Structure 1
Amino acid sequence: MTATLPTTTAPPIADRRLLTSTFAILGIVMAVWGARMPAVQAAAHLGPGRLAVVLLAAAAGMVAGLQAGGRLAHRHGPSRLLVAPTVTFAAALALLGQCRTLPSLVITAVVFGAAHGVLDVAANSSAVNVQQAYGRPIMASFHAAYSLGALGGALLAAATAWLPHQVLFAAVGAATALTALAALPVVRSATHLDHSHDDAPTSDHRPARTSRGHTWLLGGLAAACLLAEGAAADWASVHLRSLHSSEAVAAGAYALYSCAMALGRLFGDRLTARYSPTTLVRTGAVLAAVGLGTGLAIGSAPAALAGWMGLGLGLSTAVPALITAAGRGGARTVGTVTTIGYLGLLTGPAAIGALAALTPLPTALALPAILAATVAAAARRALEPR
């Protein structure tokens, strides 16, 4: 079975390049912010509890931004939301580097998270429209750009560790804002692809009616996938250290997971077109569940590294496929599905920590494997609704 999409006119190459850079920018900024978090903590003299408040503020802002972004993109079209939130996102990053008190960090973190949320919905909804215009799967390539951007941002932060974090944040923020402003002409020309707002005329691109249950199913599966991503980010290295690995090997666990996910997304569109989204997501989710489960069961460092790589490769195309399915219901559905998904990312690591307090760590880390199996079981119902 081959996944096909209806075409309209010539593929909007400039729009695709714009969105590829937008996804890459999201990855770069978030990686730089996360990698230099200890410097932010030290500059404001924050203990772990107060740092958690800052992170909670950013998460709350992001959830609010995701919901607002869905409504705004539904009403005005997602491409109109690509520039202003990017500039706000960039300015907030630069300001976070200057904050020296908890209140200033909390306020700025809320703005940072909200801009991230709005931009995330706008980028994904615009990606659905551009994919529709191309007439073939390209969503995974956008998410690959995010993964590669995050990898590049992490490398940039490591290479500039000698720089004060406020200088790095200001430089990345300025470059991001200038890139967004330079893209204004392309954004203006991209508005013709916005078919998801209320005033859209009846056409083949008009959003299909999506039931509340189907929206929640898509969101739940996205949450399962992003919980696994959060688990890899926060617990993969801890898992390797518990197996008596060196710090270098432990640190490499998440790097291998990220590289496997980026690799899967780079080839994901081609495989989706050949085998269908359902087949690819189900096969990948089985690989993720079996790979991580086997790595946890064997309990050796090489098996664990292979397991985390299997998790990243197996789930690499799941979120792009779920976002594509959500896009059939318009930007508001994308916003809802993305919000539910990010709740999995934000709460997952804490849930695993709570389980680890009650059970051995490998048992707690079986949660992502179980959820990957759930994704495999529910993929057809989610991606091929009646």
Structure 2
Amino acid sequence: MPTTFGSAAYQRATRLTFFTLGFTMAAWAPLVAYAKQRLQLDDGAFGSLLLCIGLGSLISMPFAGRLAQAIGLRCVLQVAGVAFSAALVALAVLDSPAAFGLMLFIFGACLGVGDIGMNLQAAMVEKAANKPLMSGFHGLFSVGAFAGAAGVTLLLKQGLAPVQAALAAALLAVTLLALAYRNQIRRLDALDDATFQWPKGVVMLLAGLAFICLLVEGAMLDWSALYLNGVHRVSLDSAGIAYSLFTLAMACVRLVGDRLAQWLGDTVLLVGGAALALIGLVMAQTLPLTGALLGFTLAGLGLANAVPVLFRAALSQRRMPAASSLSAVATLGYLGVLLGPGFIGHLSQWTSLHSAFWALAAAMLVLALLGRAAVSTGHQAP
């Protein structure tokens, strides 16, 4: 592994890449309610459309590592990032369900490829630097997510049309990608096999828990605004505040996550965080608006370092090659982000949106119960 990959310049470029992808993804959150209103669909039909994001990622993510090895990681990150930004703008104007679904598919494919690509870069930079960096990188993703959600919400509050707000976000994202270009890793020759392999042994458990964590994150992305609007009667132009608080809390804790891991250990960080997120989701379900917003904040605090801990366990286990393990855990994990919105939509259609959010609390209970076994086994598996 070239030692230059661990330099401050490569670390900055990696953080900027994480920030940009998080920013673009979360810029979509305040636009969701406008899209649902524009398309005039009920919760079930709209949830079905949102599954197109998951389908796009499901098809693209297993090929991301192989694509990066074939044409270069830098090229993959740049092309996926630009296409991701363009898709965001298109989603702000399309009013045909068929065209909207196709664009959601493209949006999901770009997100999936970008996610795998940036985590491969993060793994190489962390390995070359020989110190924990993963939580910090994911912290910048959350900072970007907060900036994207809060920034677009602010633009909408100022009276901009959804397409104008989306265009402003897309232009900023493309500019940031250009700044990161020079120190995005060009090739993956120094990394072991990064092609997708079906997870085996403990890697399957790690992938399942990553799926649970990211399902909750995906549900927050696409449904937290609709939850505030439907349950607490918050106006559409202000409903993005729930996701903004959620991502701000995640960002703050992830930025110190590497230090917390050294102090508390990965097991405490994962299991204790799951318990805190469970408490937060219960508060969001049972308290008035102010308490609900506090609950969304606590959920973000608790979930903040779950995925970095699981990714670190995927890299340290010895059941599969490290890069292939990371690719598998990231692929199946990020499907949670993409399938979560559709799951909540259909569950809401069958029951109610309020009831559907209880399923997210149940997911955190599962994480709390299985997290210790997953992390300890992940570090020890032969």
Same fold (TM over 0.5): yes
In 2, are the aligned partners of 1:7 and 1:132 still within 8 Å (CA)?
A: no
Shift of 1:164: 2.4
Alignment of 1:229 with 2:223, yes or no, is no
Would you say the 8 A contact 1:285–1:373 is kept in 2?
Answer: yes
Partner of 1:345: 337
Distance 2:292 2:363 in 1: 14
Code of the aligned partner of 1:376: G
Q: In 2, distance between residues paired with 1:314 and 1:330?
A: 26
After superposition, where does 1:148-227 map in structure 2 within 5 Å? Answer: 148-161=143-156, 162-187=159-184, 190-191=185-186, 195-196=190-191, 198=193, 212-227=200-215
Residue 347 (structure 2) pairs with residue 354 (structure 1): yes
Counterpart for residue 363 of structure 2: 368
* CA 1:266–1:108: 2 relative to 1, 3 Å: same
Partner residue in 2 for 1:381: 377
The one-letter amino acid of 2:52's match is A
Letter of the 1:264 counterpart: V
- Partners of 2:380 and 2:101 lie apart in 1 by 42
8 Å CA contact 1:77–1:196 kept in 2: the answer is no
> Aligned partners of 2:40, 2:12: CA distance in 1, in Å?
40
Question: Aligned runs of 1:1-386 on 2, under 5 Å?
Answer: 8=3, 11-41=6-36, 45-48=39-42, 51-73=46-68, 78-161=73-156, 162-187=159-184, 190-191=185-186, 195-196=190-191, 198=193, 212-233=200-221, 247=234, 254-289=243-278, 291-292=279-280, 295=283, 299-301=286-288, 307-327=295-315, 329-348=321-340, 351=343, 354=347, 357=351, 361=355, 364=359, 366-378=361-373, 379-386=375-382
- The TM-score, its normalising length taken from structure 1, stands at 0.79
Q: Could you say if the C-alpha distance between residues 236 and 368 of structure 1 is closer, same or farther in structure 2, counting changes exceeding 3 Å?
A: farther
Give the whole-Å Cα distance in 1 for the aligned partners of 2:46 and 2:226: 20
1:147–1:258 contact (8 Å) kept in structure 2: yes
- Aligned partner letter, 1:313: L
Runs of 4+ residues deviating >6 angstroms: 234-242, 248-251
State the Cα deviation string for residues 265-301 of structure 1 (Å, max 9, x = none): 1110111233433343233334444x3487489x444
SS at match of 1:117: helix
The answer to whether the Cα contact below 8 Å between 1:71 and 1:331 also exists between their aligned partners in 2 is no
- The one-letter code sitting in structure 2 at the alignment partner of 1:214 is V
Deviation at 1:317, TM superposition (A): 0.9
Other structure's SS at 1:183 match: helix
Asked whether the equivalents of residues 74 and 196 of structure 1 are also in contact (C-alpha less than 8 Å), the reply is no
Percent identical? 31
Structure 1 residues 231 and 92: alpha-carbon distance in aligned structure 2, compared to 1, 3 A threshold: closer
Q: Shift in Å at residue 53 of structure 1?
A: 4.7
* Mapped contact 1:79–1:194 kept (Cα < 8 A): no
Report SS of the residue matched to 1:374: helix
Q: TM-score, normalised by structure 2?
A: 0.79
Q: Which has the larger radius of gyration?
A: 1
Please say if residues 141 and 265 of structure 1, whose CA atoms lie closer than 8 Å, have aligned partners that are also in contact: yes
Equivalent position of 1:203 in the other structure: none
Instruction: Kindly indicate whether the alpha-carbon contact (under 8 Å) linking 1:81 and 1:119 is maintained by their aligned counterparts in 2.
Output: yes
Q: Are 1:278 and 1:383, in contact at CA under 8 Å, matched by a contact in 2?
A: no
Relative to 1, partners in 2 of residues 1:231 and 1:372: Cα closer, same or farther, differing over 3 Å? farther
Aligned-residue RMSD, C-alpha: 3.8
SS in 2 for 1:88: helix
Q: Distance in 1 between matches of 2:353 and 2:79?
A: 46
Which runs of no fewer than 5 residues in structure 1 stay unpaired?
1-5, 199-205
Show CA shifts across 1:21-71 (max 9, x none). Answer: 11111122122222123444455x442365445422222112222122133
> Secondary structure of the residue that 1:163 maps to in structure 2?
coil
User: Which deviates the most, 58-67 or 246-255?
Assistant: 246-255
Q: Structure 1 residues 170, 237: closer, same or farther in 2, change over 3 A?
A: closer
Q: Distance in 2 between matches of 1:87 and 1:235?
A: 25
Amino acid at match of 1:22: T
Is the CA contact (8 Å cut-off) linking 2:281 and 2:296 kept in structure 1?
Answer: no
Report the AA paired with residue 210 of structure 2. Answer: A
Q: What letter corresponds to residue 331 of structure 2 in structure 1? A: T
Instruction: Work out the CA distance in 1 between the residues paired with 2:353 and 2:150.
Output: 35
Q: Residue deviations 1:109-156, cap 9 Å, x none?
A: 222221111111000111111111221111111111111111111222
Q: Structure 1 residues 277, 96: CA separation in 2 closer, same or farther (over 3 Å shift)?
A: same
